[in-house]
Amino acid sequence: MVSAKNIILSIAIAIVFMLLGVYGINLFYEEPQHKDFCGEEGYPKSIPIGRGEPCEVNTSLEARQQQCYNDGNAVIKQKFDANGCVLDFECSTCNKDFDNAMKKWEKTAFISAVIFGIIGIAAGAILFSLESVGAGLMGGGALLILGFSMRVWRNLGDIVRFVILLAALIVLIYLGYRINKRKR
């Protein structure tokens, strides 16, 4: 029979192991920040309030802005006149650059989390005979993998998802056999 103390200890170990993995990955491989690509002044802090005069429609400016958006870029640093009408703007690729850096970071962080998580699951299953410690490490490894999977899952293709799930299933079945074989 498992005591409440062992259950709580297992949960605590799982949470701390997961957080150790998250902060360890961030410590050694820092997540890109949007401000590092687009700066602090990406969008105006406040748009000037018009003085009652309606802005003239500038079809050339609107077409340039639309092309900027269509190309996947951001419109930044708009310039306004005294009435609050947009005179000009800068089109920037900073959002694309940030998205590319974030995808690279997510991929590397995910691979690191899977490796660290599998180490935790395997160590908990094979090395620790004290059930609360082993279960905690296994739970923490599983939470770490789950957390990073949820974060990057949308960016993974169907083949990659299938391979990851297949590999996880194989490892878990192997560990299940290994744990139960050792208990006999």
Which tens digit of pLDDT belongs to each residue from 13-54? 999 999 999 999 999 999 999 888 887 654 544 555 555 567
Q: pTM above the 0.75 mark?
A: no
Instruction: Evaluate if residue 123 carries a pLDDT over 70.
Output: yes
Residue type, 162: F
Average pLDDT over every residue of 52-68: 81
pLDDT at 63: 87
CA distance 85 to 61: 11
**How confident is the prediction for the chain on average, in pLDDT?**
84
pLDDT at 141: 93
pLDDT at 138: 92
Better-scored residue on pLDDT, 65 or 139? 139
CA distance 43 to 159: 39
Residue 106 is encoded by which pair of tokens? 């997510």
> Could you tell me the end-to-end alpha-carbon distance of the chain, in angstroms, rounded to an integer?
17
* Beta carbons within 8 Å of 98's beta carbon, 6+ residues apart: 32, 34, 36, 37, 38
CA distance 92 to 96: 9
pLDDT at 42: 47
pLDDT at 75: 67
pLDDT at 18: 94
Instruction: Evaluate if residue 156 carries a pLDDT over 50.
Output: yes
pLDDT at 45: 47
Average pLDDT over every residue of 88-106: 88
Asked whether the beta carbons of 80 and 51 are under 8 A apart, the reply is: no
Closest CA to 148 of 47, 12, 22, 1: 22
pLDDT band (50, 70, 90) for residue 66: confident
Residue type, 54: P
